Amino acid sequence: MKISPKIVLFILLCFVSSISLAQDDEFIHPELQWYTIETKHFLIHFHDGAERTAKVVAKIAEEIYEPITSIYGHKIDQKVSIIIKDYDDYSNGVTYFYDNRIEIWASALDFELRGVHNWLRDVVTHEFTHNVQMQVAMKFGRRVPAVYFQWLGYEKESRPDVLYGFPNVIVSYPFAGVNVPAWFAEGVAQFNHPDLNYDYWDTHRDMILRMQVIDNKVLSWEELTAFGKTSLGNESVYNSGFSLVEFIAKNYGVGKLEEISKSLRSPFYLTIDQAIKKSLGIDGKELYNLWRAYLSEKYEKQIKAIGEKVEGNLIARDGFGNFYPKFSPDGEKVAYISNKESDYFAPSAIYLYDLKNGKENKLVSGVTSSIAWSPDGKKIFYSKKTRKNKNWRSLYDVFVYDLESRKEKRLTYGLRANNPAVSSDGKLLAFVTYKDGTSNIGIIKLNDVLNSNEISVKMITNFNNGEQIYGLCFSPDGRKILFDYSLKNNRDIGIIDIETLEFKPVLATASDERNPTFSKDGRKIYFSSDRSGIFNIYELDTLTGEISQLTNVYGGAFMPDVIDDKMVYSTYTSDGFKIAYMEQVKRFKQPEAVDLLAYENNFMPNFHLARSNDYDDSNLPEFEVKEYKNVYTSLSFYPVFRFDNYNKHDRGIDLIKFGFYTYSTDVVGKYSLFAGALMNKKFERDLFLIFEFNDRFPLLYQIGLKPRFTVEAYNVTRVVKYPITLGLNLIPVDVVYHLTEVDLSFKWKIFLPSLDLKTGFTFSRYSAEVKSFIIPETNTLVRSSDDVYFIGRTFYFDFAFRGIQPKSNSDINPVGRKINLRLNYEFNKLNPDGTYELKDGILVPVYRKFNFWRFELNWNEYVRLPLKNHTLGFIFKYGSILGKPVDEFFNFYSGGLIGMRGYSFYSFGGNEILTLRTIYRFPVIDYFHLQILNLGFQRIYLGLFFDYGNAWNDVTRLKDFKKDVGVELRIDGTSFYVFPMKIFASVAYGFDKFDKVINKVKYSFGRDVRFYFGVVFEFDSIE
């Protein structure tokens, strides 16, 4: 009888990926030394180089603990771990509210869709509010994040040597322990507390919402519930959520936020609409409509107050992230950054636009920084994030692109150097560099880096208390650098002498002034400011101090560059940031200020702003710093109920398995444990345990290797009734199959960030236990016996490359490439026909040795077609057992859900396999949002596929290859607002009918219609 371990592992991957992979860090850093600061309510963990940030966070966390917990009437049941990270140039915060664990990156947020607030005060308050509010809304408490309901269906398998078929139905659906929609979760986190205005409704937020209201592009009530959109769409969820939560607090009272959160605890409340109805007396859609009417009235007044528009013509419309336009020195071309077709900001590139003929060219990809021209116009300088460094850290470094040779050259290595500027004589290169949450300005000699000489960095600022610097601009004489910076809220503009290091503020008002640049003669400074309530471009005369306004827009105007009274800038519309061009600048006096929506709100009076700014984070308490000792999260339990009908003789309760998954991790990611156990009435069990070790592995670390070490163990039992013939009797006997596998592996990055090498060893032991039975004729008890029929040992190398382009629909409709290559050396012992010999009076199995090399290659290539979101995929699979043929126990199999779907999994197999799938995939509905109770639906795609392949032992012929066609429906959505929900349904038809002789009996396969269905957490697991 065959029970394939591949079935068990495939099921496990589909069922548990949402738990195990959600907290997986792709890059590990065992080189870091970790420390801890303990306060009354928090444990602040940080690595070497991030001590200042950790101490500031410890101070802030204790200050905000009481206000945030009191507003929700909820005290945390243990000390909250806050982990500070500063090994990547990345800015974010994330809360694992079931674990009382918060992660914060030290680098301050510099995001074009957000205003400037003190980063650490903003992010600590935001994330801790998440931790408190989400715990208030939990249905089953902190230890039970979800209850899983699962269903497994199997192919009807006619082969007598196969216990049961491969799955054709695989459903794993979580009943979530929280169902807080994205807009409410992020809205309350940004609102946090009416007296803590470390985050407040700023000009950027007003800009985004104003333009959406003006152009009738506000997200619908259904769209607000979940992310999974573009960068602009996801930020709109944050933005609208903040406004809507403030609307609730202002009109119904702050206490309603707690009421709504507590109402969501009920397991019978599947949507927030029910909680809003209970708390406010109106349903969610009514609340939304009232808010929309309020916005329309407010912004209609704003638009009237703005007056006549003064703006340029758009020269770059594609994409929603068009930034940092810069004239070439001759003024004939404009270089700028754009994300064009991408759904996110990160994949942006540099484009060069010709003002004479309107043509543009893409120069270099992967750039999000500001850019600088060389004085001769032959080179463009910029920064890129790269992991090409010793520890695979994502750090900014400066690059240069030569327009004549069309080649890119890296200039710095590991300097964390961003937003470069070049002096007018071409001798100096300045950049912003980051460390421990503070930024500074460094300068290097350009000839040294261009000629690959040793680099000497001169630091011209020495900030060390969280000060932030953004864009840089040399004065025309090359003696000074103009830059925008922030200390608490908003940006100001300053200038520093690169020789004397004397700093002077140029513009430091209550408004936000940013993006400064000099005129050619150095007399004028052009900048963007929100002094009118809307960001516009202004001109400052440095001799007279007079300020003139150059634009008057509805959205916002940023990042100006002016040459000979021509100006380019980035302008915000309801579709994002575009590049605008003014052929002739016109100066005028600024009009009256436009009232921001937030300033009419009771929660934003000036004294609150003043009180929130009344802090000094340079003056820190004395904290005791200790070496980090492992802190583990509480064990989370996920109860599991599985309908599992692999045994056609089972009925009723026998089909149900009960059990749980459990998970815990070291809070800084050094270790993690993930395990599960399920069992049914017959005591059939599915057990697994996965332990990951991400710290310094002995010996390997000492020689410079930093792999992730994983131990995986699986134990599965299945019980079948098997008739045994004894004399004239046919006796039904219980046979229990035991499958045990243990895998030890090391995994690390090699050559490329997207290329993994995994090497390891797998031990397998399969046995069949014949339970005791009684011979009727003699009433004799036959004791149980255990037959170990397979012992396997495998050493393997596994190379995996993943180059899927980041898109909001990349899971349902990928574009790019995935390659997996695996080489095994297996030395196995198999008793294929149940032969025994007598040794010392004991029957022992007679094993045959099968030692061989196994090679597998899977190549998935997905190509974008001219029609939007139409793709053509090619999935190539080849496998071979090298050398002479071996027993069919070791065969590859070609059919089923993960193969040629027109045929059953076991219908054809062999020591060698080759299949090719071609799939044309296209959107039925590319993006929509339908919410039905706790189910959210966002995308529907259809795929038409054709498979061609075969499996064989010695030789094969083309005429032996099988063919099938099929169609697959995919639906992308969410469940309970937070869990990914991927639904697929597939039907396939195999064209070829063929026979196989098994145990001297002929069985026929092919020419039938086969169906597949599933609800999983990612489509990637089934393709």
Could you tell me the residue ranges of all domains in the chain? 5-24+149-175+630-640+658-1022, 34-137+180-302, 314-590
733 or 916, greater pLDDT: 916
Note the pLDDT of residue 460: 96
What is the 3 state secondary structure string of 812-880? CCCCEEEEEEEEEEEEEEECCCCCEEEECCEEEECCEEEEEEEEEEEEEEEEECCCCCCEEEEEEEEEE
Highest mean pLDDT: which range of 155-159, 227-231, 466-470: 466-470
Q: Is the pLDDT of residue 591 over 70?
A: no
In this model, does residue 769 exceed pLDDT 90? no
Amino acid at 351: Y
Q: At residue 699, does pLDDT exceed 80?
A: yes
The pLDDT of residue 594 is: 62
Residue 841, class by beta-carbon neighbours within 10 Å (0-12 exposed, 13-18 middle, 19+ buried)? exposed
In the chain, DSSP finds a helix count (H) and a strand count (E) of: 11, 57
CATH number for the domain whose boundaries are 34-137+180-302: 1.10.390.10
pLDDT, tens digit (0-9, with 9 covering 90-100), for 112-137: 999 999 999 999 999 999 999 999 99
314-590 has which CATH code? Answer: 2.120.10.30
pLDDT at residue 14 in the model: 59
Of the listed ranges 194-198, 693-697, 869-873, 934-938, the one predicted with least confidence: 194-198
Residue matched to tokens 């959205």 = 555
Q: Is 327's pLDDT higher than 60? A: yes
What percent of the chain has pLDDT above 90? 80
| pLDDT higher than 50, residue 610 | no
Q: Report the pLDDT averaged over residues 919-924.
A: 97
pLDDT of residue 435: 96
Please tell me the distance from the alpha carbon of residue 1008 to that of residue 518, in angstroms, as a whole number.
74
Note whether 138 and 630 are within 8 A (CB): no
d(CA 589, CA 524): 16
CA neighbor of 239 nearest in space, from 310, 182, 194, 303:
182
What residues contact 891, with CB distance under 8 A and at least 6 apart? Answer: 909, 910, 911, 951
Q: Do residues 744 and 694 touch, judged by C-beta distance below 8 A?
A: no
Lookup: tokens for 928: 């929509």
Distance (Å, whole) CA 509 – CA 489: 11
CB 881 within 8 A of CB 890: yes
Least confident of 594-608, 787-801, 900-914: 594-608
Task: Decide if pLDDT at 248 tops 70.
Answer: yes
For 259-274, how does the pLDDT look when each residue is reduced to its tens digit (9 = 90+)? Answer: 999 999 999 999 999 9
Q: What is the mean pLDDT of residues 304-311?
A: 90
Which pLDDT value is given to residue 1010? 96
Handedness of CA 218, 224, 230, 236 (dihedral sign): positive
Q: Does the pLDDT at position 607 exceed 60? A: no
**Three-state secondary structure call for residue 705:** coil
> Pairing mode, if any, of strands 656-665 and 636-644?
antiparallel
Q: What are the residues whose beta carbons fall under 8 Å from the beta carbon of 476, sequence distance 6 or more?
A: 424, 518, 520, 521, 522
Weakest mean pLDDT among 602-611, 702-711, 745-754, 966-975: 602-611
* pLDDT (mean) for 712-723: 88
β-strands 524-529, 536-541 pairing: antiparallel
Question: DSSP secondary-structure letter at 72?
Answer: H
Phi, psi angle pair for 305, to nearest 5°? -75, -25
- Look at residue 646 in the predicted model and tell me its pLDDT: 82
* Alpha-carbon torsion (216, 217, 222, 225), positive or negative: negative
Q: Closest Cα partner for 812 from 1022, 1007, 639?
A: 1022
Residue 23: per-residue pLDDT: 47
pTM of the model: 0.94
The yes-or-no verdict on residue 241 having pLDDT over 50 is: yes
Per-residue pLDDT band at 606 (split at 50, 70, 90): very low
Please report the pLDDT score of residue 601 as a whole number. Answer: 43
- Residues 512-556: tens digit of each pLDDT: 999 999 999 999 999 999 999 999 999 999 999 999 999 999 999
User: Which among 708, 706, 695 is positioned nearest to 630, based on CA atoms?
Assistant: 695
In the DSSP assignment, the letter for residue 888 is: G
Mean per-residue pLDDT, 966-974: 97
Q: pLDDT value at position 954?
A: 85
Output the six-digit token pair for 417.
């150097």
Query: Strand ranges (DSSP E) for 426-575?
Result: 428-435, 438-445, 458-459, 468-474, 480-486, 492-497, 503-507, 513-518, 524-529, 536-541, 547-549, 556-563, 566-573
Contact 383, 400 (CB under 8 A): no
**pLDDT confidence of residue 457:** 93
Element holding 576 (H helix, E strand):
strand 576-582
Query: What is the average pLDDT across 72-99?
Result: 96
Indicate if the pLDDT at residue 596 is higher than 90: no
Which of 597, 606, 554, 545 is closest to 575 using CA atoms?
554
Judged against a pLDDT cut of 60, whether residue 186 lies above it is answered with: yes
- Give mean pLDDT, residues 469-482: 97
What's the mean pLDDT in 992-997? 87
Q: Kind and range of the H or E element at 115?
A: none
- Cα angle 242, 248, 254 (rounded to 5 degrees) comes to 100
Lowest mean pLDDT, pick from 571-580, 582-591, 801-810 = 582-591
pLDDT computed for residue 780 by the predictor: 76
The mean pLDDT of the chain is 91
Q: Given this model, what pLDDT does residue 453 score?
A: 75
Question: Is 233 in a helix, a strand, or coil?
Answer: helix
Cα–Cα distance measured from residue 119 to residue 470, given in angstroms and rounded to the nearest whole number:
14
* pLDDT value at residue 838: 62
Report pLDDT for 197: 85
Q: What is the dihedral of CA 1019, 639, 711, 889, to 10 degrees?
A: -60
- What is the Cα Rg of the chain in Å? 32
Average pLDDT over residues 623-648: 93
Q: What is the mean pLDDT of residues 985-1008?
A: 88
Asked if pLDDT for residue 826 goes beyond 90, the answer is: yes
The pLDDT, as a whole number, for residue 735 is 85
Residues 6+ apart with CB under 8 A from 61: 39, 41, 42, 44, 80, 82, 124, 128
For every residue of 399-432, DSSP letters joined together read EEEETTTTEEEE--SS--EEEEEE-TTS-EEEEE
| Contact present, 11 and 166 (Cβ < 8 Å) | no
pLDDT reported for residue 272: 96
pLDDT band at residue 439 under the 50/70/90 scheme: very high
Angle between helices 203-214 and 231-252 (to 10 degrees): 100
Band of the pLDDT at 731, cuts 50, 70, 90? confident
The mean per-residue pLDDT over the stretch 802-814 comes to 94
Tokens representing residue 827 in the block: 């030395």
Mean pLDDT of 487-491: 92
pLDDT at 659 exceeding the cut of 50 = yes
Burial class (CB in 10 A: 0-12, 13-18, 19+), 575: middle
7 neighbors 15 (Cβ within 8 angstroms): no
When pLDDT is averaged across residues 379-404 and rounded to a whole number, the result is 95
Calculate mean pLDDT across residues 631-656.
88
Digit-coded pLDDT (tens) for 734-749: 888 999 999 999 999 9
pLDDT band, very low/low/confident/very high, at 600 (cuts 50, 70, 90): very low
Is domain 5-24+149-175+630-640+658-1022 given the CATH code 2.40.160.50 in the classification? yes
Cβ distance 681 to 654 under 8 Å?
A: yes
Distances (CA, A) of 650 to 152, 449, 656: 14, 73, 10
d(CA 443, CA 456): 8
Q: What is the per-residue pLDDT for 727? A: 65
Under the banding of pLDDT at 50, 70 and 90, the label for residue 305 is confident
At 566 the pLDDT is 96
The mean pLDDT of 6-34, rounded to a whole number, is 67
Residues in contact with 517: Cβ distance below 8 Å, sequence separation at least 6, in sequence order: 473, 482, 525, 526, 527, 560, 561, 562
